[in-house]
Amino acid sequence: MSKVWYAPLQAEEKPEAVAAKVLDLFEAAGFEKIFAKNDFVAVKLHFGEQNNTGYIKPAFLKPLLRKIKSYETKPFLTDTNTLYRGQRTNSVDHLMQAYEHGFSIENLGVPVIIADGLMSGNHVEVPIKGKHFDKVTIARDVADSDVLVVLSHMTGHILTGMGAAVKNLGMGAAPRSGKQKQHADVKPIVKRERCHTCGACIRRCPVGAITYVDGAAHIDHDTCYGCAECVAACRTGAVRVPESSSGVLLQEKMAEYALGALAGKEGKVCFFNFLVHITKGCDCMEKAQDKVIEDIGILASYAPVAIDMASVDLLSRAAERDLLKELWPENDYLVQLRYAEKIGLGSLEYELLEI
């Protein structure tokens, strides 16, 4: 049974107080043992899309990064470029977006490196034993790092129901080509009677798969690669992912990519989940989103499945219902965790240790 350490938060705690609790969790979990002198330490997080406000704030990380540097390591903040159109599609725009949100060497004392390179061509193939893949494509600078510190902001998600540690690793450590392979089975459709021909989905589609046919939007599934940006763009609910094209395969593939991201790093990985400003959509949304519940706390663990399961349970306990299922009833978010357990990413059972 995996241990998960938990530091509860009060509503609207100051960033300095949150940062202190992150460091308390680091010390309670004994994470110092995973670092050695001259280790390259990839601190994996999401820098937040343009206009998004839910991402993990830089101020939360300052004491943690100082602690990691105190072991004479070489830490860097990192993420990968996105499949969809936005400010994080290439490394230049991605770095500018990260700096705009405060993730700079001047502010935090560590550099930002986009792990899959300028146009997402910097990657390696990692062999795994999966149902969907026998090898996965992982961003080279994640694969080459000695240590992974995975910082995940728990949110709902339009395709997977939930995003936390497993998604941060599986989707977040993959280059664009790996993301496309994970999304390949997602095929949105259009309810013609709801389509107002506003053009939002057409403008948002990164591959030009959507046109007007007989007075309504039409998606060419031969061109579509399943990013679901059209679903997010549609204000009338006309574009949706049918149950027959559910996120089940996406979640399983995502877990297999997480397995690949962790390959060769046994005993050199730690996780933090931030149950702070939890929103219906993920931090890829190009807008500020209201939180769906008051802040709950921060968790730490060596095990991605356990920390995500504990996060789900704490959220449900605080909401007094299955809030994630309420937000995304068409998506069974537990698919990713059950499958991740099955392929060796840890146990759903955990011991919660409050500090």
Domain segments of the chain: what residues?
2-181+253-354, 186-245
Residue 242 has pLDDT above 80, yes or no: no
Q: Binning pLDDT at 50, 70 and 90, where does residue 228 land?
A: confident
- What sign for the dihedral angle of Cα 284, 260, 159, 229? positive
Residue 244 has pLDDT above 60, yes or no: no
Residue 164 has pLDDT above 70, yes or no: yes
Question: What type of residue is 208?
Answer: G
CATH number of 186-245: 3.30.70.20
> Residue 127: helix, strand or coil by DSSP?
strand
To the nearest whole percent, how much of the chain has pLDDT over 90? 88
Average confidence (pLDDT) over 336-347: 98
- What sign for the dihedral angle of Cα 308, 314, 316, 319? negative
pLDDT at 241: 81
How many helices and strands, by DSSP H and E, does the chain display?
13, 16
How many angstroms separate the CA atoms of 270 and 257, rounded? 17
Choose the weakest-confidence range: 71-75, 246-250, 305-309. 246-250
Average confidence (pLDDT) over 150-157: 98
Of residues 16 and 246, more confidence is placed in 16
Choose the weakest-confidence range: 12-21, 88-97, 236-245, 266-275. 236-245
For residue 263, the Cα-to-chain-centroid distance in whole angstroms is 18
Choose the weakest-confidence range: 57-61, 132-136, 156-160, 171-175. 156-160
Average confidence (pLDDT) over 195-199: 97
Q: Where are the beta strands (DSSP E) in 173-255?
A: 189-190, 210-213, 216-219, 239-240
Residues 6+ apart with CB under 8 A from 215: 192, 195, 197
To the nearest whole percent, how much of the chain has pLDDT over 70? 99
Average confidence (pLDDT) over 100-111: 98
pLDDT at 285: 86
For residue 89, the Cα-to-chain-centroid distance in whole angstroms is 16
């299955």: which residue's tokens? 322
Residue 18 has pLDDT above 60, yes or no: yes
Residue 187 has pLDDT above 90, yes or no: no
Q: How confident is the prediction for the chain on average, in pLDDT? A: 96
Average confidence (pLDDT) over 121-134: 98
Of residues 246 and 218, more confidence is placed in 218
pLDDT at 246: 59
**Lookup: tokens for 67:** 């602690």
Question: 2-181+253-354 with 186-245: one CATH topology?
Answer: no
How many angstroms separate the CA atoms of 187 and 166, rounded? 23
pLDDT at 301: 99
The topology (CATH level 3) of 2-181+253-354 is Rossmann fold (3.40.50)
Residues 6+ apart with CB under 8 A from 96: 87
pLDDT at 144: 99
Q: How many residues does the chain have?
A: 355
CA angle 20, 353, 45 (to 5 degrees): 50
Residue 243 has pLDDT above 80, yes or no: no
pLDDT at 112: 99
Residue 11 has pLDDT above 90, yes or no: no
């998004």: which residue's tokens? 52
pTM for this structure? 0.90
* pLDDT per residue as tens digits for the range 283-333: 888 899 999 999 999 999 999 999 999 999 999 999 999 999 999 998 999
**Lookup: tokens for 255:** 């877990």
Average confidence (pLDDT) over 132-142: 98
Question: What type of residue is 20?
Answer: A
